[in-house]
Structure 1
Amino acid sequence: MKHIAIIGECMIELNGKPFGPMQQTFGGDTLNAAVYLCRGCAANVEPERIQVSYVTALGRDPLSQGMISRWQQEGLDTELVLCDEQRSPGLYLIQLDEQGERTFLYWRNQSAARYLMQHPDIDQIKTALTDVDMVFLSGITLAILPEQDRMELLNLLAKLRQQGVEIAFDSNFRPALWPDDHHVTVKTIYEAMYRLTGLALVTFDDEQQLWGDPTPTHTLNRLKKLGVQHCVVKIGADGCLVQGDDTSAHTVATTPVAQVIDTTSAGDSFNGGFLSAYLAGYGLIESCQRGNQLAGTVIQHRGAIIDPIYTQAALLSQ
């Protein structure tokens, strides 16, 4: 059995118009990926081969307990979810325009997940992570942590890599989460992170915004120079560019989508679909195809986590 631990934050999601109709659910980039990873595993020939654990902190409030129950229903292992006695989950509001693009408002400064590394039981998590095959996290996971905690997490990842744990990373750059000098701070943090990363699952738009890469190929080459073994650069409707151990880069195209409804979880669902195939032993190109297939389905529906009926149909049709 393969075992992946995904570190991040899940928040309460409000989706709709302020003072108008609004749907309440939950979401967060790594949690979204974890859910879609579980659903992708169900489409594998041997679904029992992958255990998916989510690593975060929540409160004792009913919303926290409700989220844990929902995650378990999706097949997520929640043994590594810590309970913060003083804090609760963060909150965000999604507003969509007519093209399906979204804007966000966040209330997360005192969320339980932000103080994960300061939790009294964090040493139990550190010990548990030595027994997994892969740890996956995102730039948002790093951004929400206080500076000292962020460095502690990077040191932990360095030790895990030395012990043979594969580190996977999606940069998911969000300027609002970094200080005013973010282009200096985040570049330093990201370079350190990429030197620990075996598998990069990044979006070209994010990388271009931060590093000024003129093309996805430049992004891929930069990551390879930093020592990333397997690189996937997501390029939206054009699919993705992927390169493994060899020197050849391959473009994996998507199937055109007639109507885009909501792009909220496009990259997250790609990550989940990709990882469900990659951890099951599929090649990089096949894994990208599954990621593309799942993302193409998700963006045709509203919300970060869509009804499992739609994802099941997409995965079984691949």
Structure 2
Amino acid sequence: MKRIAIIGECMIELNGAPFGTMQQAYGGDSLNTAVYMARTAGQSVEIDYISALGTDTISNGMISRWQQEGINTDYVLRDKTRQPGLYLIQLDDQGERTFLYWRNQSAARYLVRHPNFAQVELHLQTVDMVYVSGISLAVLPAEDRQQLVTLLGQLSSNGVEIAFDSNYRPALWESADEARKCYKQILSFTNLALVTDDDEETLWGDTSSQATLGRLQSTGVKKAVLKMGPKGCLYTDFTTDKPELIGTTPVETVIDTTSAGDSFNAGFLSGYLTDKTPREAALQGHQLAGTVIQHKGAIIPCYATEAMDFNIHSTASTTTTKL
């Protein structure tokens, strides 16, 4: 059984109209992926969530719910002086979302300087894969961010696979140059990059999938998934020269695109870590994301995923595009 450690921040989620009806939940890109991985992989993959929370009632409730999902929370550090961050989701008529955040003093922002972070460092040496996103890095103070990237590089040198979702959010970074500098460093030892075409265009100015994949290869990335929304994704192992286009089934009614990429990552990684083919893993990611965007909120009710069949084995012909 493979073990993955997912590093990041989970916040309290408010979903609804300001000064109107609000639903309270929780979410965060890395935690969303952890939850959907637990639902997809079941007992086939061990999932550790690495973060920091307060000792307040809401923090206790969040941890309890993560445990109910099957996530190991032994390395969620507790901070008596801070609480979880908060965010508000507002949706337009097409299901697209905008966010407001209150996270500058969240416990997760100070994860790396927590007195018990050394225990996390030791544990990370024992896992098969560490997953981190651009948001996981962006929320940290610059010095802490560099410390974490250095740690990830050391883990990679020792044989731990690094999976990285660029998930670029300009408002979280000091500047685009700072984000590019950080990304270049982590991509140099990334085994599996999970990136989105819109984000790559925004940060790097990429004008095509060829440009994105070429740049990722030049940084040292070994394998990459380029997510392209309703067009599907491109999977590339850079030891070969034929990226594989893996299409998805269009969703007629999109309710909320929150967590679309996070859930795709969960489906793909669950397949990747249980030895499914890249095509099977991507189809699993597409299936999960297609279900998630038909519900409101970052983490949809369990019943909506319980009925899904994740035993995907592809017999269809594979579409390949030589770039």
- TM norm structure 2: 0.95
- Code of the aligned partner of 2:128: D
The residue that corresponds to 1:198 in the other structure is 191
Structure-2 separation of matches of 1:250 and 1:264: 26
Structure-1 separation of matches of 2:309 and 2:148: 34
Deviations 1:280-301 (CA, angstroms, capped at 9, x unpaired): 1111111111001100111011
Deviations 1:71-110 (CA, angstroms, capped at 9, x unpaired): 0000000011000110000000000000000000000000
The residue that corresponds to 2:26 in the other structure is 26
The equivalent position to 2:236 in structure 1, one of 236, 240, 243, is 243
In structure 2, relative to structure 1, the CA distance for the partners of 1:63 and 1:252 (3 Å cut) is same
Task: Establish whether residue 144 from structure 1 lines up as the match of residue 139 from structure 2.
Answer: yes
Task: Establish whether residue 210 from structure 1 lines up as the match of residue 200 from structure 2.
Answer: no
Task: Establish whether residue 256 from structure 1 lines up as the match of residue 253 from structure 2.
Answer: no
Query: Are the equivalent residues in 1 in contact too, given 2:40–2:310 (CA < 8 A)?
Result: no
Structure-2 separation of matches of 1:62 and 1:301: 27
Identity %: 57
C-alpha deviation, 1:218, in angstroms: 1.4
The residue that corresponds to 2:266 in the other structure is 272
- Code of the aligned partner of 1:36: Y
What runs of 5+ residues in structure 1 fail to find an aligned partner?
Answer: 43-47
C-alpha deviation, 1:223, in angstroms: 0.6
Q: 1:20-99 to 2 correspondence within 5 Å?
A: 20-42=20-42, 48-99=43-94
Query: Are the equivalent residues in 2 in contact too, given 1:57–1:82 (CA < 8 A)?
Result: yes
C-alpha deviation, 1:217, in angstroms: 2.2
Structure-2 separation of matches of 1:317 and 1:117: 38
| Larger displacement relative to structure 2 (102-111 or 219-228) | 219-228
Aligned residue for 2:254, secondary structure, equals coil
Query: Are the equivalent residues in 2 in contact too, given 1:17–1:95 (CA < 8 A)?
Result: yes
C-alpha deviation, 1:269, in angstroms: 0.3
Query: Are the equivalent residues in 1 in contact too, given 2:284–2:310 (CA < 8 A)?
Result: no
Q: RMSD of aligned C-alpha atoms?
A: 1.0
- Code of the aligned partner of 1:233: L
C-alpha deviation, 1:49, in angstroms: 3.1
Q: 1:117-128 to 2 correspondence within 5 Å?
A: 117-128=112-123
Query: Are the equivalent residues in 1 in contact too, given 2:2–2:273 (CA < 8 A)?
Result: yes
Structure-2 separation of matches of 1:231 and 1:315: 25
The residue that corresponds to 1:45 in the other structure is none
Structure-2 separation of matches of 1:283 and 1:165: 20
Structure-2 separation of matches of 1:237 and 1:205: 12
Structure-2 separation of matches of 1:73 and 1:143: 29
Alignment length, in residue pairs? 311
Deviations 1:14-39 (CA, angstroms, capped at 9, x unpaired): 00000101100000000000000011
The residue that corresponds to 2:309 in the other structure is 315
The equivalent position to 2:100 in structure 1, one of 95, 105, 111, is 105
C-alpha deviation, 1:10, in angstroms: 0.1
Query: Are the equivalent residues in 2 in contact too, given 1:294–1:315 (CA < 8 A)?
Result: no
Moved over 2 A (4+): 312-318
Structure-2 separation of matches of 1:308 and 1:292: 18
Structure-2 separation of matches of 1:300 and 1:250: 27
- Code of the aligned partner of 1:198: N
Structure-1 separation of matches of 2:305 and 2:218: 36
Q: 1:221-240 to 2 correspondence within 5 Å?
A: 221-240=214-233
In structure 2, relative to structure 1, the CA distance for the partners of 1:316 and 1:132 (3 Å cut) is closer
Query: Are the equivalent residues in 2 in contact too, given 1:40–1:315 (CA < 8 A)?
Result: no
The residue that corresponds to 2:155 in the other structure is 160
Query: Are the equivalent residues in 2 in contact too, given 1:290–1:315 (CA < 8 A)?
Result: no
Aligned residue for 1:137, secondary structure, equals strand
The residue that corresponds to 1:10 in the other structure is 10
| Larger displacement relative to structure 2 (99-108 or 209-218) | 209-218
- Code of the aligned partner of 1:160: L
C-alpha deviation, 1:312, in angstroms: 2.5
Structure-1 separation of matches of 2:207 and 2:305: 34
What runs of 5+ residues in structure 2 fail to find an aligned partner?
Answer: 313-323
Structure-1 separation of matches of 2:267 and 2:233: 13
- TM norm structure 1: 0.96
Structure-2 separation of matches of 1:295 and 1:220: 23
